[in-house]
Amino acid sequence: MNRRDFLRSTTLATVGGMAVRGMSSPLMAALANSTVEDRVLVVVQLFGGNDGLNTVIPLDQYSLLSGFRSQVIIPDTDVLLLSGTGNATGLHPAMSGLMDLWNDDKLTIVQGVGYPDPNYSHFRATDIWETGSGSDTVLSSGWGGRYLNLEYPNYPVGFPNAQMPDPLAIRIGGPVSVGLQHMGVNMGIAINNTNDPLNLAGNIYLDPVSADCSGGKLDFVRTVQRQADLYGDVIEAAAQLGCNQSTLYPVGNQPGAELAQALKIVAQLICGGLKTKIYWVSMTGFDTHAQQVDSGDHTTGVHATLLQGLSDAIRAFQDDLYLLGLEDRVLGMTFSEFGRRIMSNASGGTDHGSSEPMFLFGTKVLPGMLGSNPVIDPGTTFNTNLAMQYDYRSVYASVLKDWFCLDQAEVDQVLLSTYQSLALVDPDDCIAASVHEANQGAGESIIEVLPNPFVEHTVIRYSSHGGRVVLQVFDEQGHLVRTLVNDDRPPGGHQVGCDLGDMPTGIYYCRLQNNGRQQVKNMLKVR
């Protein structure tokens, strides 16, 4: 029996407002001080496809970018420089709130997050990110829903109960999407406010159900109705405590006010004692094909307003958690369904792209930047995308392993395959922490492509620290064209041949990941 199962199987007690398990021994008293069972994940979804190059700005690539995205580029003198990056990286000038978190060691930036063969449809790409699937697979369950099913396998039968009296997950400001579903069952509930106008408890069991199939379905619907009413009661009770303390939340017509209200409710419900595992909130408007910036001042405009709202709302939420003494219990994570293209378009905007930066925030993140600034190829065209550095499912694997304390077999079960976890979150007493390598060896060459440029065949030399190595080749649009290595490799130097004789000339990217180490190198196939 692992530690989480042991805690889960013992009797309930309440200490200091936190649900813990029986206090009859020194061992249990020590375990009671742990917050492993009381950790919360807050997912912030950015609908539309956020422009990562104007969010986390690679100043070391600025001269090339200024030629390729003259319609939208932020003046380098206005960029907020990220300390520790050698003035090579900065944030959009509207993101002073997240800059504060960076300076307080409460922010991690993951560069170049994506997946092979990216899809550029909003609907399909959102489905991929929420389900944890590949571009060639359609799943009916979300990665969050599968995690919750692992923790609470009998749900919804018998819930709420003494062990888990609260919703497993809460979606605020929209419907429960596939990300929180499992096999057609919503593993969370959706609310737009903290009022419960329904009182279903007294009237949903008046008529007996038949013994046939339709009766079973009716009984299931009534069970869900009953849960909705009971969950509404506990949510209302938690919200009535009214324990928000931060004065930083945007309000009224200020940028980010709607997201801020949702995050304010999240803080209120956590403070009110809910044991809910996942909260899911969102912002819309990131589909900036046209007029992304004001033509006279690229630091202002639609995208700037969105980023300011996101940044200010998250900063206020983190301030609230600090004032409430809840910071160590909460991890936040942002994602969008895709990034934008390198080149700006003639409409003063950017088109659908591939990889994007992700933010993780909270006191338990391993602060800094994971990965390196994207390398902009001088031969960039309208079709050229940013190279993928990290598979988005590696970020999910890190959250599951080091935040929710799943063992590797459980992580694989939730994500339906094995993805290498990254050093993003301090695992505390879950798993021994690995050393966080800022910029992931940006000054160390772990891939060599010789010859480069090449006509048909080249050789890729790489180094391994031991363990699993993934070596892939992508075309400039992000399509996976070769998987050269996907296996354990001993420490030391290795090489593998790469034949692209059947592929067209142009830019390719070679990507290596070896546990937390990764690197991307450009490859040029010529005639």
Do residue 145 and residue 168 come from a single domain? yes
Do residue 77 and residue 106 come from a single domain? yes
Strand positions, DSSP E, 437-491:
447-450, 457-464, 467-475, 480-489
Do residue 248 and residue 387 come from a single domain? yes
Q: How far apart are CA 303 and CA 298, in angstroms?
A: 9
- Residue 96 included in any domain: yes
CATH assignment at residue 487? 2.60.40.1930
Q: What angle do CA 389, 370, 517 make, to 5 degrees?
A: 65
pLDDT at 21: 25
At which of 420, 440, 460 does a domain end?
440
Domain assignment of residue 303, given as a range: 35-194+240-440
- Residue 213 included in any domain: no
Do residue 410 and residue 495 come from a single domain? no
pLDDT at 191: 75
- Residue 216 included in any domain: no
Do residue 514 and residue 392 come from a single domain? no
pLDDT tens figures, 238-291: 777 778 899 999 999 999 999 999 999 999 999 999 999 999 999 999 999 999
CATH assignment at residue 112? 3.40.720
Which residue matches tokens 């065949």? 457
Q: What pTM value is reported for the model?
A: 0.82
Q: What angle do CA 516, 521, 522 make, to 5 degrees?
A: 150
Do residue 312 and residue 346 come from a single domain? yes
Judge whether residue 219 has pLDDT over 70.
no
Do residue 26 and residue 107 come from a single domain? no
75-83, Cβ contacts within 8 angstroms, sequence gap of 24 or more: 75/298, 75/299, 78/299, 82/109, 82/369
Q: What is the mean pLDDT of residues 77-94?
A: 97
pLDDT tens figures, 4-63: 443 333 322 222 222 222 223 322 232 333 344 589 999 999 999 999 999 999 999 999
Do residue 369 and residue 245 come from a single domain? yes
Query: Phi/psi of residue 293, each to 5°?
Result: -130, 165
pLDDT tens figures, 306-357: 999 999 999 999 999 999 999 999 999 999 999 999 999 999 999 999 999 9
pLDDT at 28: 29
pLDDT at 524: 87
- Residue 177 included in any domain: yes
Work out how many domains the chain is built from and give that number. 3
Q: What is the mean pLDDT of residues 474-497?
A: 94
Q: How many CB atoms lie within 10 A of CB 337?
A: 27
At which of 414, 440, 466 does a domain end?
440
Judge whether residue 513 has pLDDT over 80.
yes
pLDDT at 299: 98
Do residue 144 and residue 156 come from a single domain? yes
Do residue 188 and residue 152 come from a single domain? yes
Do residue 312 and residue 391 come from a single domain? yes
Mean pLDDT, the chain, rounded, equals 85
pLDDT at 232: 72
252-259, Cβ contacts within 8 angstroms, sequence gap of 24 or more: 254/309, 254/312, 255/305, 255/306, 255/308, 255/309, 255/312, 256/283, 256/308, 256/309, 256/310, 256/311, 256/312, 256/313, 257/309, 257/313, 258/173, 258/283, 259/44, 259/283, 259/309, 259/310, 259/313
pLDDT at 234: 78
Closest of 142, 111, 42 to residue 374, by C-alpha: 111
pLDDT tens figures, 152-199: 988 887 888 888 999 999 999 888 999 999 988 899 988 765 333 233
Place 212 in a pLDDT band, splitting at 50, 70 and 90: low
Q: How far apart are CA 414 and CA 277, in angstroms?
A: 15
Q: What residues form DSSP beta bridges with 280?
A: 43, 171
In angstroms, how far is CA 512 from the centroid of its own chain? 21
Judge whether residue 515 has pLDDT over 50.
yes
Helix axes 408-415 and 143-151, enclosed angle (nearest 10): 130
Do residue 422 and residue 481 come from a single domain? no
At which of 440, 464, 489 does a domain end?
440
Q: How far apart are CA 249 and CA 256, in angstroms?
A: 9
Judge whether residue 470 has pLDDT over 80.
yes
